[in-house]
Structure 1
């Protein structure tokens, strides 16, 4: 797998490796029940946030099961807005993308822009074949984000998960490298991104 060159910059964002200075901001939004609503497990304690930031800061992407975990910040105003991750799945050229944003960063297109940059990383730099996103059917914001990226709804698994005291239906969205290259992913995204790998 090629080396991942960081940071990645887009029109408005910088995607970079996490560092210790991100801990308080990371905990501020991961400690909220609203953030944890569609994530496995309850809202994070400070110790859990510390462990996660440490893991994200020291990620490696060398084998199946590894994660690329990138901090999202605004280009003109440093400070953690959220994270976007890419997980290497079993099977040739397979990966999963995911994202979490702080409340103040939601509804501004940052999630779409960051995820779009990670799709570019996956297809253009890492040579992946297929990238998917898995989400709770009730997570309407993430479903809309997948659609903006040009990802298609591939599956609906009824009552796939039981967490937080109830059954959840899982949606699987995906996009292929070939679709990405012919512009299917960009056709619904009004502002084409200029992505730079440094």
Structure 2
């Protein structure tokens, strides 16, 4: 068996290839090169957005280079692999607007232990309309129902109240507060960790069904 076909599957159903995911109002699709201009002009350059970004693949000093890195994240097979989706607002009857309003991600943190990390970033203009909840829920379904994750977690800047509220809406519990874990832009930042177990997610889905 070659290294191209081996995986770190463990308890997860790997490999998993990226694909488009549709929800009632959104389309989650793999990133493309054409996203660079819109992302840079839209939300990736906003200081009120990037101050809270924690993903390994974000580097705001070299956006073109790092978009290429994000585009390459299209397959889950080993620990550390990730998928990043552009979140596109579907056109309505009175609009042809398909603009990208954010992006969401899944990373395999431990295939052996079925641990997956979820992340998101959205333009502040769409906050409060349920888009982030809709997109994140779609990714949780992939993580639990298709990958077979036992636990999905999110790491947040502890000052990011909007993301903390989203975690709570998704049914996630705050598991830890890591004080002064990261040194960013000359200051220490606390990191909050929110987690959700497979049985807890199944319970929330049963209630909403």
| TM-score between the two structures when normalised by the length of structure 2 | 0.81
1:66 to 81, 86, 101: 81
Q: Deviations over 1:29-86 (max 9, x none)?
A: 21221121112599824xx222232222222211100111000001223121110001
Larger radius of gyration: 2
1:85 to 105, 120, 130: 105
Contact 1:122/1:128 (8 A) holds in 2:
yes
What is the rounded CA distance, in whole Å, between the counterparts of 1:168 and 1:129 in structure 2? 28
Cα distance change on mapping 1:186 and 1:154 into 2, 3 Å = farther
Cα distance change on mapping 1:75 and 1:2 into 2, 3 Å = farther
Report the counterpart of residue 35 of structure 1 in structure 2.
49
Report the counterpart of residue 17 of structure 1 in structure 2.
30
User: Post-superposition shift, 1:18?
Assistant: 0.7
Give unpaired runs (5+ residues) of structure 1.
194-198
Report the counterpart of residue 131 of structure 2 in structure 1.
110
Give unpaired runs (5+ residues) of structure 2.
1-13, 92-96
**Local SS of the residue matching 1:138:** coil
RMSD: 2.2
What is the rounded CA distance, in whole Å, between the counterparts of 1:186 and 1:132 in structure 2? 21
Cα distance change on mapping 1:186 and 1:173 into 2, 3 Å = farther
Contact 1:17/1:71 (8 A) holds in 2:
yes
2:147 to 117, 126, 131: 126
| TM-score between the two structures when normalised by the length of structure 1 | 0.85
Q: Aligned pairs, how many?
A: 186
User: Post-superposition shift, 1:186?
Assistant: 7.3
Q: Which moved more, 1:150-159 or 1:25-34?
A: 25-34
Contact 1:86/1:95 (8 A) holds in 2:
yes
Cα distance change on mapping 1:105 and 1:186 into 2, 3 Å = farther
Report the counterpart of residue 161 of structure 1 in structure 2.
182
Q: Deviations over 1:119-165 (max 9, x none)?
A: 11100111111000011111000000000000011111122212122
What is the rounded CA distance, in whole Å, between the counterparts of 1:20 and 1:4 in structure 2? 19
